[in-house]
Amino acid sequence: MDQNEKLAMFGVTHVLAIDGFSSKIVGSKTMAVKNNLLIYDCVYRNEMQHSENHKIERMWPEVNQRVNYPIKAVLVDMVNQDQLDMDDQLVKYCVSSLVTLIAEYGLTRFVHSWNCHRIPGHGIPNNIGSESTRARVGEDAFPSAETSAAMYAQDLGSSLTAYSPYGTDPFSSEEARKLFQDTFNHEIPDLHFFIE
């Protein structure tokens, strides 16, 4: 398991986990700020179903080339041209929210591509992983992130941060966010014209 923070200045962090036997990427998550509870739930619990792991640093150059650097080039250019003020907390939050979604989409495409490509002398990670006769540990063998955090607090007398936004969230509550989203979706039901 490893993390990549090439877009951290824009509120994006990736985490990947790989099965050492098959070289298959078995877990991934993109988030605004490194969050141990998200990593535990979305990556670690999934990764622990596999019995071997090895370093994945060799994958990051490809993730950077395919996902991070194109996004970063545009954002840095926007900052340099004073089109983005990353000192403004609301701008930071909005940029992070949007770029996290874009980067997560790119990372998901990379994971699929990686798991389907042929590694010379080794095979295709998806095929190798499916042919494995190793025993899998079920996800239910591990407690949820919330339960683990409570156990951590009880045993060590300390706590983990459940959520840490990048910038200032403009919504005062989840209900306010939902109301805005519903109104936006009603006013602009189709976003395809932005993409085309």
pLDDT in tens, 136-147: 666 677 777 778
As a whole number, the mean pLDDT across the chain is 82
Task: Give residue 70's pLDDT.
Answer: 95
User: In total, how many domains does the chain have?
Assistant: 1
Kindly state the percentage of the chain with pLDDT values over 90.
29
Task: Give residue 54's pLDDT.
Answer: 47
Instruction: Give DSSP secondary structure letters for 116-137.
Output: HSPBTTTB-HHHHHHH--PPPP
Q: What are the start-end ranges of the H helices in the chain?
A: 36-39, 45-47, 60-63, 69-80, 89-116, 125-131, 145-156, 174-187, 192-195
Task: Give residue 52's pLDDT.
Answer: 44
pLDDT in tens, 26-71: 888 999 888 888 888 778 766 555 444 445 777 888 999 999 999 9
Higher pLDDT, 25 or 52: 25
- Which of these ranges, 3-7, 152-156, 190-194, has the smallest mean pLDDT? 190-194
Q: Supply φ then ψ for residue 116, to 5 degrees.
A: -105, -5
What residues make up the domain containing 95? Answer: 2-195
pLDDT at residue 135 above 70?
A: no
